[in-house]
Structure 1
Amino acid sequence: MRRQWWIVAAVVAVALWFFVSIEPVLAPFFVSMVLAYLGDPLADRLEDRGLSRRLAVTVVFVLLILVVVLTLVLVVPILGRQFGQLVEAFPAILNWIQQTVLPEVQSLTGLDLSTDFDALRQAVVENWKETSTIAATLLAQVSRSGLALVGWLANLALIPVVTFYLLLDWDVLVGKVRRMLPRQWEPAAVRLAGECDEVLSAFLRGQLIVMLCLGVIYGIGLTLLGVRFGLLIGLLAGLASIVPYLGVIVGIAVAGVVTFFQFHDWLMLVGVGVVFGFGQLMESVVLQPKLLGDKIGLHPVAVIFAVLAGGQLFGFTGVLLALPVAAMVMVILRYLLENYKNSTLYDAGQKTPQRSSVPSSDEETS
């Protein structure tokens, strides 16, 4: 039995080494896997309504393409324009902080922060200018390297192809993996897989929809208020909502600074608060109960740690996989904790033999 465990450990170690070695080429396959996982339930429902698997997958695939195309055509140009305007306005915002905010802070607290802020402002402006040219530099570099450009385009073209075939054979692949499991492990593995699927589906489908809805609510609300970069700030706040309360904190802070700098009116800050308050109300009353419930269970600190650790270990692929892997690890740890509490190791100290209340013959003699 111990030899079998060593064989399993060796196979897992070799598999991990192999995937780490080919990590640069895995990104399109992981993206395709996530898209196929998200689309499989809809394809199953269409199959239940009488469509063939191929036709159901085709319908889902077309819907995914329409969503991506509409996002690229309608949203990306607006965000690009607003980001460019933000780059242009950023030095003016820093000047306003230095000339208006810092004197107020000095009059209230007696602290002179102008010297430190001067150095900070200079460093930020220099780095901000460099950041704004990163995309152009990267594009020029890719253009100069024909092989890199071909590889990048090939990876991009792989995503729809791999997604289609994964969607087509998803249930078949799941069935084959299940039949490959050792028979004695199958019940526990199927149970864990079901719990992982519940957590992942709640996160990948539910949480992404919640983030998108919050971004739309924040973006539309700020745009109706007339706040510059309203859509950009709203969508960034929606993305930051992957960590509970982080989105609303980041959104209010950024939108408040931009709004006050734009209007110099404290009442407009009340409007910003109303927008984010309405978003939080919708999340608490409608979005979270309907889409998530209590299925995820990932602590905010665990979310932050997973994203940072995944990015540090495996780059962009690690960021993509961080939260799904963290959700599955949470399910496995919960299973191990349950087994540990049912083991003799956990309650061995509680099962000490009780001393008899009847005196022994030696005690009677003494």
Structure 2
Amino acid sequence: MVRIIRALAHKYFSDDEAVILFLLLVLGTLAVIWIGDTLAPVIASVIIAFILQGLVTKMTSHGVPNLVAVILVFLLFLGVLVGFLLGMMPLLWSQLTSLAGETPRMFREMQAYLELLPQEYPHLVSMAQINNLYQQATSEAANFTQWLVSFSLSSIPDVMAILIYLVLLPILVFFFLKDRDLLVNALASTLPQQRPMMRRIWAEVNQQCANYVRGKALEIVIVGGATFVAFRLLGLPYAALLSLLVGLSVVIPYIGAAVVTVPVAMIGLFAFGWSSEFIWLMVIYGIIQALDGNVLVPVLFSEVNNLHPVVIIIAVLFFGGIWGLWGVFFAIPLATMLKAIFAAWPVHHSLPSEDQRAA
């Protein structure tokens, strides 16, 4: 057993840089698990600044001074943020409350439809099973409605925390953009001067994560916007709420599209019934998903290393379990980072001889 441990230690941890990198990974993982929620505004600011840095770099490459580029990009970010808070948030909230009010009617229609199943398929479905299913669904709907009604009172501390984040977030984003080189150099100064492996990993991870994060943000906007326009033209209720769900669903490959199809189909069915409008809704929704997967994703992520679907699903489950929504969003770049680390990790395949150990 001791020999096996010594062989593994020599194979993977003979290099001092490998030991330091391993300790950094362990400390970073523990920090995310223990204080990730506390540092949420800082993490979110780093992510947003990382996305906006691409615009700053493009502007500086065309001769715009760095500070001017940072200010212009920051003002653009503020405009988008204010527009979303003042334009989209009230619409989303009104549609969410309207959906909560319509839920009882939807459940009554669902009950009327379900009660026909035992008559048509008596050997597969019984009336007792239908009643049990309806009672469970009604109970969950009542709990959701009650939570929505009491939200304004019970969540005042959460609302205050959100307001604090909205103040901190722009400030942190501005300084992360303005002092990016200063902060990166300060962090690098704490590491060993000779770090070829870390430099190689950083170069690959920086490129991969930058391409992924910026591409994913653009994909969310394009898919969500196209879905909103299509749903509004079709006259689908709660178009803004559903298009937001569809846009965010691209964060989780394979799983997100399958999950968000359920509310789209259910609301479409309640709104249009088994009609040509419902068929057109599902056809157009399917076309948007197909164009996203077969056209938009290859264009936006052509420079990102492909990962096996099994690896993606495992990464989503693992990182989402330890880091929540942020872990889900960054499951693929984190998996890419681990892939780059494993590829660059120094490996010694032979144990040192007795003379070498004596020396």
TM-score (norm 2): 0.79
Aligned position for 1:36: 49
Q: Give 1:113 deviation, angstroms.
A: 4.0
User: More deviation in 246-255 or 164-173?
Assistant: 246-255
Q: Does the 8 Å CA contact 1:32/1:163 hold for their aligned counterparts?
A: yes
- Find 2:60's aligned residue among 41, 47, 59: 47
Instruction: Report whether the alignment pairs 1:122 with 2:135.
Output: yes
Partner of 1:257: 266
- Asked if structure 2 preserves the Cα contact closer than 8 Å seen for 1:192 and 1:332, the reply is no
Residue type at the aligned position of 2:178: L
**Aligned CA distance change for structure 1 residues 296 and 124 (closer, same or farther; 3 Å):** farther
Instruction: Give the C-alpha shift of residue 30 in structure 1.
Output: 0.6
Correspondence 1:78-97 to 2 at 5 A: 78-97=91-110
Compare relative contact order (CA 8 Å, sep 6+) and give the higher one, 1 or 2.
Answer: 2
* Residues paired across the two proteins, number: 337
Contact 1:243–1:300 at 8 Å: present in 2 too? no
**One-letter code aligned to 1:161:** I
1:33 deviates by 0.7
- Show the counterpart of 1:332: 338
The reply to whether residue 276 of structure 1 matches residue 299 of structure 2 is: no
8 Å CA contact retained: 1:105, 1:111: yes
Q: Match of 2:187, as an amino acid?
A: V
Long gaps (5+) in structure 1: 346-366
Q: Residue 245 and residue 23 in structure 1: after superposition, are their counterparts in 2 closer, same or farther (change >3 A)?
A: closer
Indicate the larger mover: 56-65 or 326-335.
326-335
Return the offset for 1:64: 0.6
SS of alignment partner, residue 116 of structure 2: helix
- Residue 95 of structure 1 deviates from its aligned partner by 2.2
3-state SS, counterpart of residue 125 of structure 1: helix
What residue is the counterpart of 1:320 in the other structure?
Answer: 326
State the partner residue of 1:71. Answer: 84
Amino acid at match of 1:126: S
1:303–1:323 contact (8 Å) kept in structure 2: no
Contact 2:95 / 2:241 at 8 angstroms: preserved in 1? yes
Q: Does structure 1 residue 200 correspond to structure 2 residue 213?
A: no
Partner of 2:239: 230
| Residue matched to 1:350 | none
Aligned to 1:140: 153
1:268-295 deviation per Cα after TM superposition (whole angstroms, max 9, x unaligned): 2320233123313432454223211251
Aligned residue number for residue 165 of structure 1:
175
Separation in structure 2 between the aligned mates of residue 12 and residue 225 of structure 1, nearest angstrom: 49
Match of 2:187 among 177, 185, 188: 177
Q: Is residue 61–residue 164 contact of structure 1 (8 Å, CA) maintained in 2?
A: yes
Alignment TM-score, normalising by the size of structure 1: 0.78
* Structure 2 CA distance for aligned equivalents of residues 23 and 283 of structure 1: 32
Q: Is the 1:296–1:327 Cα contact (8 Å) retained in structure 2?
A: no
Indicate how the Cα distance of structure 1 residues 55 and 154 shifts in structure 2: closer, same or farther if over 3 A, else same.
same
1:211 has 2:211 as partner: no
SS at match of 2:330: helix
- Cα distance in 1, alignment partners of residues 34 and 272 from structure 2: 53
Identity %: 23
User: Does the 8 Å contact 2:319/2:328 carry over to 1?
Assistant: yes
CA-CA distance at 1:27 after TM superposition: 0.9
Q: Say yes or no: does 1:290 pair with 2:308.
A: no
Letter in 2 for 1:158: L
- Post-superposition CA distance 1:210-260 (Å, at most 9, x none): 122112222221221122223322221221122334444344433333223
Distance in 1 (CA, whole Å) between partners of 2:204 and 2:24 is 25
Offset of 1:116 from its aligned partner? 2.5
Pick the aligned partner of 1:156 from 137, 144, 166.
166
State the partner residue of 1:355.
Answer: none
Equivalence for 2:6: none
Alignment check: 8 A CA contact 1:102 1:113 kept: no
Q: Is the 8 A contact 2:246 2:257 kept in 1?
A: yes
Q: 1:260 to 1:304 in 2, by over 3 A?
A: same
SS at match of 2:192: coil
Structure 2, unaligned runs of 5 or more: 1-12, 351-359
Q: Which structure's CA Rg is the greater one?
A: 1
Counterparts in 2 of 1:280 and 1:7: CA distance versus 1, 3 Å: closer
